[in-house]
Amino acid sequence: MATLKDTLEARGRDLRESVTNAGFTVSLLLQSLRLFFVDLRHRRRFILDQLAVCGISPLPVVCVVGLFTGMLLALQIGMELSRLGQSEAISNMIGLILFREMGPFMTAMILTASVGSAMAAELGTMRVSEEIDALECMSINTTSFLVMPRIVAMTIMTPLLTFIGCILGCVGGGLVANTQLSVSPAVYTRNLLASLQAEPNQLGPLPEEIYTGLIKAAIFGALIATISCATGLKASGGAIGVGRAVRSAVVRCFLMLIIIGYYISWIFFR
Amino acid sequence: MKSRNYDVTLGIIFFAALLGLGVITIVLSDFALGVEVYRVKFYASDIGFLRSGDPILLHGMAAGKVESVNRLKKPVLISAPKDISGISSGEVRCTVMIWAKLDVDPYLHLKEDYKVIIEDRGLLGGKLIRIEVGEENLYMAAESPLLATALPSALQAAGQIIDENRAALQKTIQQLAEFAENANQAQGTLGLLINDQRTRELVENTVDQLSLVAQNLTGGDGTLGKLLTDSAPFDDAKVAAADLRSAMERIRRGEGSIGKFIQEDGIYTDVNALVAEAREGLSDVWQGQGTLGKLISDEALYNKADQLLLDLQAIGAMASEGDGMIAHLLNDGELYDKTLQMVSEAQTVFHDIREGNGLVAALINDEQLLDDFRSILNQVLGAIEDARETTPVTSLGSFLFGTF
């Protein structure tokens, strides 16, 4: 029977383990950032491979989820707005919700589930099968070889997938708005663009709302890859350990996406 | 082991950073790195449900937030800002103090006629403080107390207007109700129009006819329809307009009679001189100068002419009645025949004269004879003249010698 002391010791070990894992994750990110400038030329091929893995494989899922998310938003918001006689404002709501929050967060969730978990499983399997130890024995920098290309690929591909998902979400919302709320495509498009350019554009040709969403998506991509790789590299205990690492990576990614997402929104939109 | 300690340290820093961000974003929501904050207090007698966190506008831009609102234990008297004429409206008894945090120093902007207004943020509620810096030359002294004034909300203002005009509104509503009642009962012109079946039928017929007219017009029937649908009149008008434009162009270039008349200065000068002379002539006429002027302005002549006309009228009357020679001439048929005969004979006489027959013709046609006749006539005239000169002397001598 576990005593209070044993319980406190266990919780202390968990806390220490959490802090250590967090530190290891930050350390991995910092190393990858440094190695990006050092080893970029040598890792181009790995980066291209990871771009295909991170960008192509989850694309159909992102498209379908984006389209139906827009349709769902249009349906729910449109019903409430039509009661107030403001159906035409639906595109403003959909545009802002998708590009500010829903688009980056939705894409990050999909990538966490599809790509992040795969990264954790792959690196975890390599760890438990001592492949990573073998690489280290051959003086190959595992961070440069395994982690940095994944982080770079996710940082590049997440904003692109987010943009595609948001555009398809707007299209889906427009379909519902036109067919079920009698909002003409011209009015929908005009209000959508007006809502995205509500604030002065200070960053370039695209509306500011799109830029902020894409920056958030890039940060989410780096976060998912770093957490997944760190969790995979820390896996131990055979196949069970790999499964535990995958589950832990997904949970940590979700938590950090929510927390970091709030801070980013606070910085951009407060 | 060293690596593990490094990870622990990084982990602690990571969680500390997350915690710090949480504190900053949730607790210190107004935190802004590198921005200086100015705490300012406003005094007011009524703040109109202003709350902490409400925005403050300076120059129409967000410049800070209300930090807190405190009720004063003792009211304070605050000098009101000057108005446009530069006169302060005295002191205001304030019971509420508002602490505000601004990102600019308001005393660098506020003039002596500043305004701090607490007003509605929108119709859905909420308040804000709007600072108007004023236009005076003198700035407010630093740390001097600032007075804030609450404006009534739009709904309150509307309610106040309704209260002030309640009687008039009630009367208006009552009149409207009476009007509607009368209309429903087919009273008055509008009521009859609304309720009268015949009027309704008339209106319906009128609308039907108008609809028919519109159909005819769109079908191109009738003159107006043809005008609306047929492009020929438009084309004609277009051609006419083009011709007119061409003619005007020719006139502008000074071509043709009108063009020359308009463009050539000589003609213009001649016409101008002619008009001037005509004006002078008319002036003389009106002044009674010249024959025409006398005719127009001489009153005696007018009277004579008037009399002449009257006489002519009398003659006309007499003639119509058959009195006098002219009347006989006009009315007597025998005289007319005689006159015709006389004229015929005169024509014969004149024919003989022209042919040189008879004495008169000889006198006319024979120059020698004419000269002799003229000499004899002169001699006769001389004899008559001599007789006229000698007769008085002869008569006087006969009288004198006959008497004595």
The rounded Cα A224 to chain-centroid distance in angstroms is: 6
Q: Which of A143-152, B146-155, B286-295, B367-376 has the lowest mean pLDDT?
A: B286-295
Closest alpha carbon to B229 in B220, B241, B240, B238 = B220
The CA distance from B36 to the nearest CA of chain A, in Å, is 18
Identify all chain B residues contacting A266, using CB atoms and an 8 Å cutoff: 25
Tokens 């099968």 locate to A129
Q: Letter for the amino acid at B213?
A: V
Residue A91 in any domain: the answer is: yes
Q: Within a 10 A sphere around the Cβ of A242, how many other Cβ atoms?
A: 23
Return the residue of B nearest to A256 by Cα.
Answer: B18
B286 interface with A at CB cutoff 8 Å: no
Q: How many CB pairs under 8 A join A and B?
A: 44
Mean pLDDT of B190-196: 67
B4 interface with A at CB cutoff 8 Å: yes
B18 interface with A at CB cutoff 8 Å: yes
Which helix or strand (DSSP H or E) is residue B146 part of?
strand B146-150
Predicted confidence at residue A147, as pLDDT, reads: 94
Predicted confidence at residue A229, as pLDDT, reads: 95
* Dihedral angle computed from the Cα positions of residues A151, A152, A155 and A158, in that order, rounded to the nearest 10 degrees: -90
Residue A150 in any domain: the answer is: yes
Interchain proximity B8–A21, CB inside 8 Å: no
B289 interface with A at CB cutoff 8 Å: no
The whole model's pTM is what? 0.55
Residue A17 in any domain: the answer is: no
R_g (Cα) of chain A, nearest Å: 22
Is it the case that residue B136 has pLDDT exceeding 90?
no
- Sign of CA pseudo-dihedral B355, B358, B361, B363: positive
Query: Which phi and psi angles does B92 have, rounded to 5°?
Result: -115, 135
Predicted confidence at residue B404, as pLDDT, reads: 43
What is the DSSP secondary-structure string of A39-75? Answer: HTGGGHHHHHHHHHHHHTTTHHHHHHHHHHHHHHHHH
Residue A237 CA: distances (Å) to CA of A123, A124, A232: 13, 10, 12
Interchain proximity B21–A18, CB inside 8 Å: no
Q: Which has the higher per-residue pLDDT, B4 or B399?
A: B4
Q: Which has the higher per-residue pLDDT, B58 or A199?
A: B58
Q: Is B123 helix (H, G, I), strand (E, B) or coil?
A: coil
Q: Judging by beta carbons within 10 Å of its beta carbon (0-12, 13-18, 19+), is residue A243 exposed, middle or buried?
A: middle
β-sheet bridge partners, residue B111: B139
The CA distance from B91 to the nearest CA of chain A, in Å, is 40
B23/B35 Cα distance (integer angstroms): 18
The CA distance from A159 to the nearest CA of chain B, in Å, is 24
Is it the case that residue B61 has pLDDT exceeding 50?
yes
Return the residue of B nearest to A19 by Cα.
Answer: B11
Interchain proximity A26–B4, CB inside 8 Å: no
| Distance linking the first and last C-alpha atoms of chain B | 204
Q: Letter for the amino acid at B180?
A: A
Residue A256 in any domain: the answer is: yes
Identify all chain B residues contacting A23, using CB atoms and an 8 Å cutoff: 6-14
Q: Which of A23, A259, A263 sits opposite B11 (nearest CB)?
A: A23
Identify all chain B residues contacting A262, using CB atoms and an 8 Å cutoff: 25
Contact criterion met (CB below 8 Å) for B165 and B133: no
* Dihedral angle computed from the Cα positions of residues B85, B90, B96 and B100, in that order, rounded to the nearest 10 degrees: 40
User: Considering only residues 121 to 140 of chain B, which have any Cβ-Cβ distance to chain A shorter than 8 Å?
Assistant: none
Closest alpha carbon to A22 in A252, A240, A257 = A252
**Residue B80 DSSP label:** P
Mean pLDDT of B210-220: 78
Q: Letter for the amino acid at A156?
A: I
B15 interface with A at CB cutoff 8 Å: yes
Tokens 């996406």 locate to A257
Contact criterion met (CB below 8 Å) for B263 and B269: no
Residue A224 in any domain: the answer is: yes
Return the residue of A nearest to B8 by Cα.
Answer: A20
Q: How many residues does chain B have?
A: 404
B246/B268 Cα distance (integer angstroms): 23
Q: Which of B7, B25, B29 sits opposite A23 (nearest CB)?
A: B7
Contact criterion met (CB below 8 Å) for B115 and B131: yes
- For the record, the structure tokens of A66 come out as 């984006």
Closest alpha carbon to B287 in B298, B277, B275 = B298
Question: Domain total for chain A?
Answer: 1
B210/B198 Cα distance (integer angstroms): 18
Q: Is B65 helix (H, G, I), strand (E, B) or coil?
A: strand
Contact criterion met (CB below 8 Å) for A207 and A201: yes
Identify all chain A residues contacting B10, using CB atoms and an 8 Å cutoff: 22-24, 26-27
Contact criterion met (CB below 8 Å) for A215 and A102: no
Predicted confidence at residue A177, as pLDDT, reads: 92
Q: Is B90 helix (H, G, I), strand (E, B) or coil?
A: coil
Q: Which of B11, B21, B25 sits opposite A20 (nearest CB)?
A: B11
What residue numbers bound the domain in which A241 lies? 42-269
Predicted confidence at residue B218, as pLDDT, reads: 75
Q: Which of A138-142, A253-257, B124-128, B285-289 has the lowest mean pLDDT?
A: B285-289
A140/B390 Cα distance (integer angstroms): 182
Long-range pairs for A7-16: beta carbons < 8 A, 24 or more residues apart: A16/B8
Interchain proximity A19–B8, CB inside 8 Å: yes
The CA distance from A173 to the nearest CA of chain B, in Å, is 28
Q: Is A195 helix (H, G, I), strand (E, B) or coil?
A: helix
Identify all chain B residues contacting A270, using CB atoms and an 8 Å cutoff: 25, 29
Interval B67-91: pLDDT, tens: 889 999 888 888 888 775 555 667 8
- For the record, the structure tokens of A185 come out as 């495509």
Q: Which residues of A lie closer than 8 Å to B, measured between beta carbons?
A: 16, 18-27, 259, 262-263, 266, 270
Q: Which of B7, B15, B21 sits opposite A27 (nearest CB)?
A: B7
Mean pLDDT of B201-220: 78
Predicted confidence at residue B233, as pLDDT, reads: 62
Long-range pairs for A164-168: beta carbons < 8 A, 24 or more residues apart: A164/A59, A164/A62, A164/A63, A164/A66, A165/A62, A165/A63, A165/A65, A165/A66, A165/A69, A165/A98, A165/A103, A165/A106, A165/A107, A166/A66, A166/A98, A166/A99, A166/A103, A166/A210, A166/A213, A167/A66, A168/A63, A168/A66, A168/A67, A168/A70
Is it the case that residue B403 has pLDDT exceeding 50?
no
Q: Which of B6, B18, B29 sits opposite A23 (nearest CB)?
A: B6
Q: Within a 10 A sphere around the Cβ of A248, how many other Cβ atoms?
A: 19
- Sign of CA pseudo-dihedral A53, A59, A65, A69: positive
Residues of chain A with pLDDT under 70: 1-2, 198-206, 270
Contact criterion met (CB below 8 Å) for A252 and B11: no
Residue B47 CA: distances (Å) to CA of A240, B53, B117, B162: 66, 14, 9, 23
Task: Determine the residue among A252, A266, A269 to mutate to test chain B binding: the one whose Cβ has the most chain B Cβ atoms within 10 Å.
Answer: A266
Tokens 């409430």 locate to A80
**In percent, how much of chain B has pLDDT > 70?**
62
Q: Which of B6, B21, B25 sits opposite A27 (nearest CB)?
A: B6
Residue A30 in any domain: the answer is: no
Q: Which of A20, A22, A262 sits opposite B4 (nearest CB)?
A: A20
Return the residue of A nearest to B33 by Cα.
Answer: A267
- For the record, the structure tokens of B298 come out as 């001489």
Identify all chain B residues contacting A33, using CB atoms and an 8 Å cutoff: none
